[in-house]
Amino acid sequence: MKSRNYSTGGPFHHIPVMLNEVLDTLALRGGNVYVDGTFGAGGHSKGILDSCKCNLLAVDRDKKSIEIAQELKKEYDDRIELHNQSFSQLPYIIDNTPYKKIDGLLLDLGISSLQLDNPDRGFSFQKDGPLDMRMGSQSFTAADILNKIREDDLAMIIRELGEERHSKLVARKICEYRKNTKIISTYQLNEIIEKSIGWSYKKQKGKHIHPSTRTFQAIRIFINQELEELILVLSRIAKYINSEGRIVIITFHSIEDRIVKNIFSDLTGQNRAISRYQPENSNENEKLFIYPIKKFLKPTDSEILMNPRSRSAKLRCIERTKSAFRENLDIYSTNKYEQILSEFR
């Protein structure tokens, strides 16, 4: 598999998810400008730069990722431009480049191996480390949230962002625990969750996820404002995509995939209400975007075998048409958790 050529070693082993599919759906062409909005360990970026003589904007809010990108810049020189910012800032980044528009955007929404495999980052319940979970440079950590947040707010976050049906029980046990002992490590949080709802997961037949998976996911998404970041960039990026340019997004859980699917449906006109007395307009050129591939792509069995972390990935893609841009996308609120977050700033 081609992905093997782009895996990284050292203390962190990274294999870019669905690399072959990403390169195909981006429809790469020489002389064009592409954006890797989630640079991570650089596997996808390297694949793009090797596939054709194009230019690339490498964007990541994690400083460690940009350090890796500096090494890649030595190989590709002026073909790659580095930006240590979150991908929601892409409109401003592009505005301040000579390009002004791009021919393709890739977002791989999975957690980088640089983050997941490093215990000091606090993303994984499988390794003991400080409860951090920050992807960027925000001041508050997961520990700050868990030791101060109100119980009902915590339950809501775990329910909505982790889809954990026992969210109230988990929130109550966390709040009971912190009355006597401050929660500062991934081991502590994992132990609280396992003791409170581990029985429920053991009752499930066949393979099932670890009891801590959903709660860890919820806290991570909340402190990094991952959904807000995604909504912001998809709501503003359309006018920066050249005709025939593509947006390719890889999701890993149902919450972010639902957002991508709904916004893509809006951009392609699938969500537009049409009177039953009015014939449907079949002119694809009057739509902002079209679907170049049907539905979504999933990793092959051989990739999942080689890289189990890819098993839940879904790749969705839309292509910009020649239609004039209309700025009317407003289907999601981006400030749902803003009031809660403001208490930790």
- Work out the angle between the directed axes of helices 213-224 and 186-202 (0-180°, nearest 10): 130
What type of residue is 116? Answer: L
Q: Residue range 248-263: average pLDDT?
A: 94
Using 50, 70 and 90 to split pLDDT, how confident is the model at 118?
A: confident
Cα distance between residue 17 and residue 21, in whole Å: 9
At 341, list the tokens. Answer: 């977050």
Q: pLDDT tens, 79-113? A: 999 999 999 999 999 999 999 999 999 999 988 77
H/E stretch holding 104: strand 102-108
Residue 206 marked in a binding site: no
- For 33-47, 165-179, 184-198, 200-214, which range has the lowest pLDDT when averaged over its residues? 200-214
Q: Which residues contact 86 (CB under 8 A, 6 or more apart)?
A: 59, 61, 136, 229
The alpha carbon of 205 is separated from its chain's Cα centroid by a whole number of angstroms, namely 30
Cα distance between residue 336 and residue 338, in whole Å: 6
Residue 87 marked in a binding site: yes
Residue 301 marked in a binding site: no
- Checking if the pLDDT of 13 tops 60, the result is no
Residue 60 marked in a binding site: yes
Residue 152 marked in a binding site: no
The alpha carbon of 175 is separated from its chain's Cα centroid by a whole number of angstroms, namely 29
- Checking if the pLDDT of 276 tops 50, the result is no
Residue 50 marked in a binding site: no
Q: Give Cα separations from 4 to 7, 68, 213, 310 (angstroms).
A: 5, 18, 28, 14
Residue 11: the pLDDT is: 41
At 193, list the tokens. Answer: 């969750």
Task: Find tokens 């230019």 and name the residue.
Answer: 55
**CATH numbers and ranges of domains, the chain:** 2-114+227-340 (3.40.50.150), 120-225 (1.10.150.170)
Q: What percent of the chain has pLDDT over 90?
A: 64
- Contact in structure between 155 and 219 (CB atoms under 8 Å): no
Residue 62 marked in a binding site: no
H/E stretch holding 172: helix 167-178
254 backbone dihedrals φ, ψ, rounded to 5°: -65, -30
Residue 102, strand partner residues: 241
Q: How many residues are given for the chain?
A: 345
Cα distance between residue 196 and residue 168, in whole Å: 11
SS3 content of the chain, % helix, strand, coil (to 5): 45, 15, 40
Cα distance between residue 132 and residue 120, in whole Å: 8
- Contact in structure between 241 and 247 (CB atoms under 8 Å): yes
DSSP symbols for 233-271? HHHH-GGGEEEEEEEEEEE-SHHHHHHHHHHHHHHTTTT
H/E stretch holding 320: strand 314-320
